[in-house]
Structure 1
Amino acid sequence: MAEATREVTRDTTREEQLLRSAPLFGGMDVASARSLMEKMTRSDVSKGDTIFNEGDDGQALYIIVRGKVKLARTARDGRENLLALLGVGDMLGELSVFDPGPRLARAHAVEDSTVYELPKDVLDEWLDTHLEMSRPIMRALAQRIRRASNTMADLVFSDVPGRVAKAILDLGHRFGRMERGHIMVRHGLTQEELAQLVGASRETVNKALADFASRGWIDVHIGSVEVYEPERLRARSR
């Protein structure tokens, strides 16, 4: 029983640390962070489960402490467009919380995940008594806008191989692990989803991946990629 209690305590402490890595908690002292965490609801989400749907009312934001979640939109003809792949420490659903309106995307788990939910009304009430915490939240929203602006610039100014190289580097930075002297990136995406992420056709993206592999820069597997020459990819992404 004592060992089980220690294990639960370790898991709770680790999840608290992961929560505090989210932009929402940037700059908060321990007491303030814990007071907000106590108002959040923890949920385990199975692979493939939907967290929220496009068009839903935005009544809560979420922070991921385990697993991966993808955001996608559906076109009028039924095609899906992958907007982002999110992982531990990432926040989702915050735009509809701060700008009330329907969800602009659907969020579902790429793998078994754990998220913490913070309802809009709870956050609004908490901010009324913690006005100093508005600054890190504004910073997080500004970072989201900056990423969106960079993505738009890439679509205009970069060719497909350059965007693929940049996407691999970004996924490696966020999800990569050093294994046997190189970077193993287990992203969990299909090649179709990777193509959606860079805004290109699957055939064009596959051609770029095959070219990188033939040069010895990467090795492609189902749901993952091994990166051997990150500097080569970085030069190609510019």
Structure 2
Amino acid sequence: MGATMTTVRIAFDKELVLSGHFLLKHLEKPELQRLAASARLAYFRPGAVIFQKGDPGDSMMAVIRGRVKICSHSTDGKELVLNIINKGGLFGEIALLDGEPRTADAVALEETDLLVLDRSKFVPLLNERPAVALQLITVLCKRLRQTSEHLEDTLFLEASSRFARALMRLADVFGKPAPGGLKLDIKLSQQQLGCLVGVSRESINKLLGEWQRNGVIAVESGRITLLDRHALEEIAEANG
């Protein structure tokens, strides 16, 4: 794990945090206590590297507070954002299960508190509690579907369609009701949006300007509000 990890500054009841997580809701109190005793709480500053591709896959993380970017980099330094993990989400589960090195980088987008579950303590629990294993399989299936959709978008869709789909996916996770539409409760730079979609920052800038003029979205202080989802859906389905 990255050297930037520090002790969480806010006191958390680890057992309470674990019991409230969807993955662990089937556990009995003694099992929660055992897992809580081995779990670690970690704090990361914005931009801190949590782990890098190739690092040992010895733990899984749950986001207690903040957001985490899962990304990969090409040999020439280009970044592709694979996913953004919100509060309550899991990441690092693939390496946790197979013990192989990490397949991507994880970076804190903002001040982030994590609950870290070590592989040596968690895997035996999966053998004892099939319901937990089934929940984890569901997480993996969802992640696989997201990766497949992302790949199809990148290979087959124009930049405008990909960006429209990305905004709607972000709205599904981070959208908050706002006057006239749905505001994304996450601030991403044009560069970060470009990395998420797989296009240049200049392309994102051009599309944002065009869609603002057409009343499809609004942008204020770096935050995007979806004003006309139907128009975005039409853009997402159009290709060429």
TM-score by length of 1: 0.84
CA 1:124 to 1:18, structure 2 compared with 1: closer, same or farther past 3 Å?
closer
Asked if 1:164 corresponds to 2:169, the answer is no
| 1:171-210 alignment runs, 5 A limit | 171-210=170-209
| 1:101-120 alignment runs, 5 A limit | 101-120=100-119
Contact 2:26–2:131 under 8 Å retained in 1: no
Deviation at 1:140, TM superposition (A): 1.2
Contact 1:182–1:227 under 8 Å retained in 2: yes
Deviation at 1:223, TM superposition (A): 3.8
Question: Could you tell which deviates more after superposition, 105-114 or 227-236?
Answer: 227-236
Q: Distance in 2 between matches of 1:46 and 1:58?
A: 22
Q: Distance in 1 between matches of 2:190 and 2:92?
A: 26
> Which residue is 1:5 aligned to?
none
Unaligned ranges ≥5, structure 1: 1-7
Q: Which amino acid aligns with 1:51?
A: I
Unaligned ranges ≥5, structure 2: 1-9
Q: Distance in 1 between matches of 2:31 and 2:210?
A: 47
> Which residue is 1:237 aligned to?
236
| 1:142-153 alignment runs, 5 A limit | 142-153=141-152
Deviation at 1:32, TM superposition (A): 7.8
| 1:83-94 alignment runs, 5 A limit | 83-94=82-93
Percent of matched pairs sharing the same residue: 26
CA RMSD of aligned residues (A): 2.6
> Which residue is 1:20 aligned to?
21
Deviation at 1:181, TM superposition (A): 4.2
Q: Which amino acid aligns with 1:20?
A: H
Contact 2:18–2:32 under 8 Å retained in 1: no
Secondary structure of the corresponding residue to residue 54 of structure 2:
coil
Asked if 1:226 corresponds to 2:225, the answer is yes
Contact 1:190–1:222 under 8 Å retained in 2: no
Contact 1:41–1:116 under 8 Å retained in 2: yes
Q: Distance in 1 between matches of 2:17 and 2:183?
A: 27
Q: Which runs of 4+ in 1 moved over 3 A?
A: 29-39
Contact 1:127–1:133 under 8 Å retained in 2: yes
Q: Distance in 1 between matches of 2:125 and 2:187?
A: 36
Q: Which amino acid aligns with 1:174?
A: V
